[in-house]
């Protein structure tokens, strides 16, 4: 079983990112880069799946700059065996389709090099920066694979892949052929932490670097000029008008004060 987990490095999602009015860009300066949460869930689910006694390996890939290597290292310390960074000036300014196309080319190229197709290509359902959730489904289209979204567990039954898919009121068990693309939702556990030992080992593992030429990506399919969706501008959301903060010793008094403001405002 060969599993590819696609990850993205994003700014720490516990930090509130706002628009920097002076640059017109998100205020990500100095915010620690992390692996996108849903991608860590994909990696953890893949690792647990293989730990049920299935022989196989996990490869991780990210499209990003030099810095993204540190995120791949982190993945190598928590279950992945191989890591790749897909980097080229050509990819700059790609929209989701350009990204999915490039990832698709890379998945095929690595499969050829490592001798054999990936059975599962796993993505997070969305990233915390763009929150658009398009990459996984578009990657499935680009590769021509089947797709199951909102995945919270995997199981192999009689040689067939059974995927647990979260639904509004419970879950589905979905049978899917392989190769397939899956997108991960949040399972009901946290991903494992690296140990000192696994971190040391990860540090020594090589990380492959792939350019657009290496994967045979065409310039009319990825990058800014191929982008079908163009950013016009970023804007700050409308500010809510400043509220009233009641900070008093006597909690009963504070509560009653708040309550009377609410009744005056006619919201109850």
Ligand X SMILES: Cc1cc2nc3c(=O)[nH]c(=O)nc-3n(C[C@H](O)[C@H](O)[C@H](O)COP(=O)(O)OP(=O)(O)OC[C@H]3O[C@@H](n4cnc5c(N)ncnc54)[C@H](O)[C@@H]3O)c2cc1C
Judged by CB under 6 A, the number of residues near ligand X is 4
Token readout for 158 is 């009689």
159 interacts with other proteins by CB under 8 A: no
**The residue to which tokens 């690296």 are assigned:** 194
Q: Which does 60 bind (CB under 5 to 8 A by kind): ligand X, other proteins, none?
A: none
Q: What angle do CA 94, 98, 103 make, to 5 degrees?
A: 115
Contact partner at residue 200 from other proteins, ligand X, none, CB < 5 to 8 Å by partner kind: none
Q: Closer CB to ligand X, residue 156 or residue 186?
A: 186
Site for ligand X in 141-200 (CB under 6 A): none
- Cα(184)–Cα(34) distance, rounded to whole angstroms? 17
Q: Is 26 in the site for other proteins (CB under 8 A)?
A: yes
Residue from the set 40, 59, 71, 150 that interacts with other proteins by CB under 8 A: 150
SS3 203: helix
Q: How far apart are CA 77 and CA 66, in angstroms?
A: 19
Residue 123 and residue 256: Cα distance in Å, rounded? Answer: 49
Site for other proteins in 202-241 (CB under 8 A): 227-237, 240-241
> Is the peptide bond prior to 179 cis by the omega test (within 30 degrees of 0)?
yes
Determine which residue in the list 3, 6, 10, 37 makes contact with ligand X, applying CB under 6 A: 37
Task: List the one residue from 5, 105, 185, 202 that touches other proteins (CB under 8 A).
Answer: 185
Q: Which of residues 74-113 bind other proteins (CB under 8 A)?
A: 95-97, 100
The partner in contact with residue 49, picked from other proteins, ligand X, none with C-beta cut-offs of 5 to 8 angstroms by kind, is: none
Q: How far is residue 182's CA from residue 190's CA, in Å, rounded to a whole number?
A: 19
**Residues recorded for the chain:** 268
**Residue 243's binding partner, choosing from ligand X, other proteins, none, with beta-carbon cut-off 5 to 8 A by kind?**
other proteins
> Is residue 33 a contact point for other proteins (CB under 8 A)?
no
CB of 125 to ligand X, least distance (A): 9
For ligand X, the closer CB: 128 or 183: 128
Q: At what angle do helices 196-204 and 69-76 cross, to 10 degrees?
A: 130
Taking phi over 0 as left and psi of -120 to 50 as alpha, with beta for the rest, 261 belongs to alpha
The residues that touch ligand X, with contacts defined as CB under 6 A, are 13, 37-38, 128
């Amino acid at each position: 079983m060969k599993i590819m987990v696609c990850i993205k490095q994003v700014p720490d999602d516990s930090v509130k990112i706002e628009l920097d009015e002076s640059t017109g860009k998100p205020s990500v300066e100095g915010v620690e880069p992390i692996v996108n949460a849903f991608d860590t869930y994909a990696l953890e689910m893949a690792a647990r799946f293989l730990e049920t006694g299935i022989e196989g390996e996990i490869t991780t890939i990210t499209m990003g700059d030099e810095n993204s290597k540190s995120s791949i290292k982190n993945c190598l310390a928590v279950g992945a065996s191989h890591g790749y960074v897909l980097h080229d000036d050509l990819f700059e300014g790609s929209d989701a389709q350009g990204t999915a196309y490039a990832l698709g080319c890379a998945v095929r190229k690595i499969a050829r090099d490592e001798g054999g197709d990936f059975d599962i290509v796993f993505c997070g359902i969305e990233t915390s920066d763009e929150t658009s959730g398009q990459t996984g489904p578009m990657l499935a289209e680009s590769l021509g694979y089947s797709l199951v979204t909102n995945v919270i567990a995997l199981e192999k039954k009689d040689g067939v892949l059974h995927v647990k898919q979260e639904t509004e009121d419970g879950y589905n068990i979905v049978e899917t052929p392989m190769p397939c693309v899956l997108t991960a939702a949040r399972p009901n556990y946290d991903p494992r932490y690296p140990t000192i030992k696994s971190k040391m080992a990860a540090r020594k593992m090589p990380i492959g670097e792939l350019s657009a030429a290496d994967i045979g990506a065409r310039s009319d399919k990825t990058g800014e000029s191929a982008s079908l969706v163009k950013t016009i501008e970023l804007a700050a959301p409308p500010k809510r008008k400043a509220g009233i903060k009641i900070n008093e010793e006597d909690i009963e008094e504070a509560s009653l004060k708040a309550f009377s403001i609410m009744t005056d405002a006619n919201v109850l």
